[in-house]
Amino acid sequence: MTEPQGTRLNIRPITLADYPQLADIMAKVYPDLGGAWSEATLAKLIRLFPAGQIAIVDHDHVVAVALTLCVKYDKYSIPHRYDEVINEKRIPGHNAKGDALYGLDVFVDPNYRGARLGRRLYEARKELCRDLNLRAILAGGRLPGYHKVADQMEVTDYIEAVGRKSIHDPILSFQLSNDFTVKRLMRGYLPEDTNSAGFATLLEWDNIFYERDDNSIAYESIKSQVRVGVVQWQMQHTHSVDDLLNQVEFFVDAMSDYRSDFALFPEFFSAPLMGLAPDLSAVEAMRFLAGFTKEICYRISQMAVSYNINIIAGSLPLIDNDQVYNVAYLCRRDGSVEEQRKIHITPSERRDWIISGGDRIQTFETDAGRVGILICYDVEFPELGRILAEQKIDILFVPFWTDTKNGYLRVRHCAQARAIENECYVVIGGSCGNLPRVDNVDIQYAQSAVFTPSDLFFPHDAIQSEAVANSEQLLFADLDIDKLQQLHFEGSVNNLRDRRHDLYRLKWFDDAE
């Protein structure tokens, strides 16, 4: 299946060539505050602190921007005015040896409102703060909603009401939801901001990983802490594809709220839709189900973008050249989509649904590590996991569907073996419940889990997290990718390094062979 046409988001540094698009957005967003900054001001920002000027682009079109400085914490963690940070003539706030970031501005193209791009830019700022080992992010937060109630309450009461969520302020509510705290009230921060009556809040986000080090600042680092979310999916009667996708979005929203980098759904999670045509034979029902795959994949891809989370969309049936395949889709949060077809088909899949096996295995690059996907039965073949391990995956995702406990234990034990022998994390996600109107998917058994290698750096039972068996729920786990690197070189045993290539090798035969 080709990737959906439409949104394709990417985060990158701003260049001066972006100015016309940036100015256009700024003019739309701030018509009452002077509109766009000058091109010369943007050029200064890029020259002084290129890493802090961040854009989200849809294909090649700038749709959201974050502008940031590096400052001295002691100077700007007390009340100040905006023109003491930046003004038309100069940028007095920037200090290349500063120990904090200062958020100058974040703005989003009005046509992209609702896609949570502002939140994504805030997360990018936080990662920059951690990467540079800076102590905090500071910002002056305008109060554009205050003018509506200024004749009814003091500004301090307004800030407290926003904190209690009894009043919504477009800027302060957003900043509080992104883990910023109000430290001070600043008067005369931006006098021309009449909607805020010149007031602003001094906001701070603390970097809990900050370590005082005056000798070095690293500008590049690889994401080392990855959060995965797993949906242990309840199979139940559904009325329509919209009904099913509403349930999917509920879980995606929840996992996004917990800042997950990945969301895993089970194999054939769309199976309840077969209940919409109960009189079809098993073969016909699977082909009927495949008719929904394009729409489901497209809409989940849109959720990945909107909720800023990479989604492994379980697996879905796909008809290609009149053959039915069992396909897992990786829907990245930049809008791109790739697929992994199930290689090994179980006897029941071949017999009841006439499903064919795929002929290609691959790894996937993501913004949270290199991953692989093996669908259910495939994880029971150690060759596939080893091929992926040779391509240096960090996490192996295994969407599965099993009907009995012994079937589930085959998947579980093999998944644990793949984690140990390949020195990677393995995440398995299955379904529970029953579908009495759907042949061959009538009962389920699952206990989703996240497995680790078995060594001193990891939990004693090599289980990072696991769900309660046969109960619909969300499972979360934080994975430390740096520990995998430590294991590769300092582990008690070295399963990958100690292989005897002088005696045996594993080879994938391509079409040419």
Write the pLDDT tens digit of every residue in 146-157.
Answer: 999 999 999 999
Residue 20 gets which letter from DSSP? H
pLDDT at 330: 98
Q: Domain spanning 9-210 has what CATH number?
A: 3.40.630.30
pLDDT at 223: 67
The residues with which 236 forms a beta bridge, in sequence order, are none
Rounded distance between C-alpha atoms, residue 285 and residue 277, angstroms: 7
Task: List, edge to edge, every strand of the sheet that includes 449-451.
Answer: 363-366, 369-373, 395-399, 425-429, 449-451, 463-466
pLDDT at 2: 39
Say if 9-210 and 225-490 have the same CATH topology. no
* Contact by Cβ (8 Å): 381, 361: no
pLDDT at 8: 86
| CA 511 to centroid of chain Cα atoms | 34
225-235 and 431-433: which strand pairing? Answer: parallel
Rounded distance between C-alpha atoms, residue 425 and residue 453, angstroms: 7
Residue 59 falls in which region: left (phi positive, over 0), alpha (psi -120 to 50) or beta = left
Handedness of CA 69, 71, 73, 78 (dihedral sign): negative
pLDDT at 278: 87
Catalytic residue among 267, 339, 380, 423: 267
Catalytic residue among 70, 297, 331, 376: 376
Q: Which residues of the chain have pLDDT under 70?
A: 1-7, 213-223, 510-513
Q: Which of 88, 186, 92 is nearest to 139 (CA)?
A: 186
Could you state, in order of their start, the residue ranges of all structural domains in the chain? 9-210, 225-490
pLDDT at 213: 61
pLDDT at 92: 82
* Contact by Cβ (8 Å): 439, 289: no
> Known catalytic residue: 342?
yes
Rounded distance between C-alpha atoms, residue 93 and residue 60, angstroms: 31
- Which residues of 321-383 form beta strands (DSSP E)? 323-331, 337-341, 355-356, 363-366, 369-373
Catalytic residue among 70, 297, 342, 423: 342
Range 225-490 has CATH code 3.50.50.60: no
pLDDT at 6: 63
The tokens for 272 are 């309840």
> Known catalytic residue: 423?
no
> Known catalytic residue: 126?
no
Residue 352 gets which letter from DSSP? I
